[in-house]
Chain A
Amino acid sequence: MNTARAVTSGLSLRTRMGWLHAWVGFVCGLLLLCIFITGTLAVFDTEITRWMQPEFTGGSLARPSDAALARASALVSEQEAQHHRVSVTLPSARDPVLRVVQPEGMDVITTAIDPVTGEVLNLRKTVGGTLFFRFHYTLRMGRMFGVVLVEALGIGLLVTLGSGLVIHLRALVPNLVMFRPNGASPRAWMDAHVIAAVLFLPFTFMVAWTGVVIHADRIFPFTAETRQEGGGGPPGRGQHGHHRDALPIPALGPILDDATQLFGEGGTGFLQFSPRSVSVMRSDASTLPQTRDRAEYDRRTGKRLKVTRQRSGPAQTRQVMTGLHMAHWAPTPMRWLYFLSGIAGSVMFGTGLVMFLLKRRRTATSRHFLALVLAEGLTLGTVIGLPVACAAVLWANRLVPASLTDRMTTESACLFLVWGICVVHALARALQKHVLHGWREQAALLAVLLCLLPALDIATRWQWLGQQKQWDYLGVDAATLMLGLMVLRGCVFLGRSIKREAVK
């Protein structure tokens, strides 16, 4: 025992933390990278959904007309009769239509209604940005197991951040903006890793901590029970029940007017329906704290029953933490900062994974060959494979016929199919000991998919081009083009590395 104790106590703190950082970082990092990439895309989920519905031309920020609200009521009643949970989102600056939203398994089916005319808009069915949003916090593994896994990974991220801080503590301030791309092999990777980690540390720590806290109910199960007893949980949860005995929906116009007086102009976010009441929730975009204030109305008479506002210290803290993580409050420039920070987080994971493998590749013996192949393949399949799959979803959205009945399934299947192919390709290349070629091939594919996406957008959207506001499309196209060019630059770099290796 004493010898055993000496083995660990002989190691320096930095060495112990280095081991922890490397292994927890690698094991959790593969999935955390997926969470970061999809979370980064989810910052612009509404805009991505708009991009994926190129037929959309209208929209209005004004209060929905009575005709539009009546149409929404009819659709809600129809869905309730089939025992579906359903809600209605009100027009906002980001999404200026009335939407009837119905969760369907891991996806969400929405029906868009013109807020002025009340006509149902003929838009293609799409998974939209919701695919990335839901993947971000469930990994498409269900709301129980998936969320618990993501929570555990979030704790892993906090461990990795803590151990990383201890390792780099001495060099933290001097190396804050130090980047030496021409340094020896691990140096450039290390600098990129440290810059992405340290400069964005407040963001990374914030998203990790708030992300775990938001769904903390899932990892402390009895907490969830007591919350429901106390009724202090997030509003709206557990209120839906069965809609078999639901009363008819009253006129929504007066309800909305009353709620607007309560929450202010543009302060109403969405409507929720329970068998006995209709709730109007405050818009998440109105303030940084995601308050979820709600006004509840009697479903029989349409009269206001109560207004729920949580203003205790802990409740406000929870609202701020949720608001900070979700960024629904954020204006467009702030969203771009979230997006850039998300990319930096992904770069941090990507460079960390690469450094882990660089070191192991040098010291690996033939006994570790299969483990190394697996690690190399999974890393490549995640770092490049997942972005390729995400880009493929956007391509599929425009190439699959708009009238196809199973469009949503096709789009989400496309993500996993392409991702699977990328992983298999990566494993095959790693098995052949040509993993660098694999990196270049997948990076080239990603660059092509991203760089050509704007062309695909214009080619498949030209008939509605003149009647649309271009900002959302321009934003998605410009971002993909920029990222595509960066990946292309990486491709050139990889090509040079392969040539150098061949000369050796």
Chain B
Amino acid sequence: MKLQMHRSSKKDRNRMPSQEPGTSAPSLLPARLLIALLLAWPIGLAITAAVPSLLPASHADGLFVAQVEAVLIMPLAILFLCGSSTLSRGLLATLAAFLATFPLAFMFLAFGSP
């Protein structure tokens, strides 16, 4: 399916989102939001479970790094899942964000704990 994005004109810049066409019929968005809400917490939980075991720091420090990441990824996941044109793309973007938390842990592995 082709991505159908409305290109906003310059006049559109100051327009309120509520004045945009299509706002009145976002029929699948509540379902998307529900899926996002159901997925957000497990994603955070997975990060806090996986990241600390990768870090060469104490468990408390590793958990803190994981929590900081999880708290950022959880809202991002909701935004990706609700903002993407199709659900599969949203899931893919969320997976990418989830995996992106690990390079930080790898960086930590490379440089060692301070």
A residues sitting closer than 8 Å to B (CB atoms) are: 2, 4-24, 155, 158-159, 162-163, 166-167, 170-171, 174-175, 186, 190, 209, 212-213, 216-217, 219-220, 222-223, 226-227, 229-233, 312-315, 317-318, 321, 355, 359, 363
Contact = CB atoms under 8 A, between A and B. Distances in A.
Given A17-B17, A155-B75, A314-B65, A2 B26 contact: no
Contact of A170 (B13, B22, B79): B13
B23 A171 contact: no
Contacts of B86: 5, 8-9
A315 B76 CA distance: 25
Interface string B1-28: 1011110100011101110111111111
Given A8-B86, A22-B17, A216-B70, A312 B75 contact: no
Contacts of B29: 8, 11, 16, 19-20
A382 B17 CA distance: 24
B111 to A, nearest CB: 10
B72 to A, nearest CB: 7
A312 to B, nearest CB: 5
A20 B82 contact: yes
Contact of B48 (A175, A223, A355): A223
B1 A219 contact: no
Interface residues of B, number: 56
Contacts of A359: 18
A192 to B, nearest CB: 13
Contacts of A174: 13
Contacts of A155: 40, 71, 74-75, 78
Contacts, number: 172
A12 B74 contact: no
B64 A315 contact: yes
Interface of B is mostly: helix
Interface of B: 1, 3-6, 8, 12-14, 16-18, 20-29, 32-33, 40-41, 44-45, 48-49, 57-65, 67-68, 70-72, 74-76, 78-79, 82-83, 85-87, 113-114
A159 B1 contact: no
B30 to A, nearest CB: 8
Nearest to B62: A314
| 9 smallest beta-carbon distances between A and B, as pairs | A232-B60, A18-B17, A313-B114, A158-B75, A12-B6, A314-B61, A216-B67, A9-B85, A230-B59
Contacts of B44: 219-220
B25 to A, nearest CB: 7
Contact of B67 (A12, A171, A213): A213
A239 B12 CA distance: 59
A10 B23 contact: no
A223 B71 CA distance: 14
Nearest to B114: A313
Contacts of B45: 220
A2 B1 CA distance: 9
Contacts of A12: 5-6, 8, 20, 22
